[in-house]
Amino acid sequence: MTALTFRGPRFVTPFGPFRLADALVRSTVTTRPAESAWYVPAADVERDGDDAVVRLELPGVDVASDVTVEVTGHRLVVAGERRDERTGEGFRESRRGSFRRSFTLPRHVDPDAVRASYDAGVLSVRVGGAYAEPQPVTPQTRRVAIDGVTPAPEATTPEAPTQEAPAQDGDQPQA
């Protein structure tokens, strides 16, 4: 796949008649290699009563190990990676790329009211109370578990146990 590189016409000046057309073309042409941004999941946001439901199409993505859903401050962030590998007679093609979709949440949304589920290639994130009467909430960061997906085992480092010696009769507590 060839990346499209925009070099710019020589007849465009900052005050020329083609300035607007040049700006429109530049806004649609990517200067990054095509491999780094080959996948952006389609997203729909719908109202369901007082809740907002964000649906992202993620067919072929291993949601258990490659997708995270987080609420950071007043933003819902869905990030992940998609891998695509095809083999045939005499060839093997593989592509991979990461994606990140971010949605601004109303300031009154409680991060604990965000739920996610995955079914048939669609990730659904329900933001509880997004359209409800505003209540002040302190922003915090929270990772959202995805229902219907077995979480991938995380590498954990064993922590050294901290044990206090049992108090003996006559011992004074240390300050």
Under DSSP, is residue 101 helix (H, G, I), strand (E, B) or coil?
A: strand
One-letter amino acid at 13 equals T
Distance (Å, whole) CA 127 – CA 158: 35
Q: Please, are residues 127 and 114 in contact by the beta-carbon 8 Å criterion?
A: yes
E strand intervals along the chain: 43-48, 51-57, 67-73, 75-88, 91-104, 114-119, 122-127, 140-144, 146-147
One-letter amino acid at 44 equals D
Residues 136-161: tens digit of each pLDDT = 667 778 888 888 787 666 654 445 44
Distance (Å, whole) CA 155 – CA 174: 36
| 136 or 83, greater pLDDT | 83
- Evaluate whether residue 1 is within a structural domain: no
Q: Which helix (H) or strand (E) holds 26?
A: helix 19-28
Q: Please, are residues 142 and 76 in contact by the beta-carbon 8 Å criterion?
A: no
Which CATH number covers residue 43? 2.60.40.790
- Evaluate whether residue 6 is within a structural domain: no
- Evaluate whether residue 10 is within a structural domain: no
Specify which residues 43 forms β-bridges with.
56
Residues 3-55: tens digit of each pLDDT = 444 445 555 455 556 666 666 666 555 444 444 456 789 999 999 999 999 99
Residues 107-134: tens digit of each pLDDT = 888 889 999 999 999 999 999 999 888 8
- Evaluate whether residue 29 is within a structural domain: no
Give me the pLDDT at residue 86, please.
85
Question: Which residue range(s) make up the domain with 80?
Answer: 34-147
Number of domains in the chain: 1
Token pair 């109370």 is found at 129
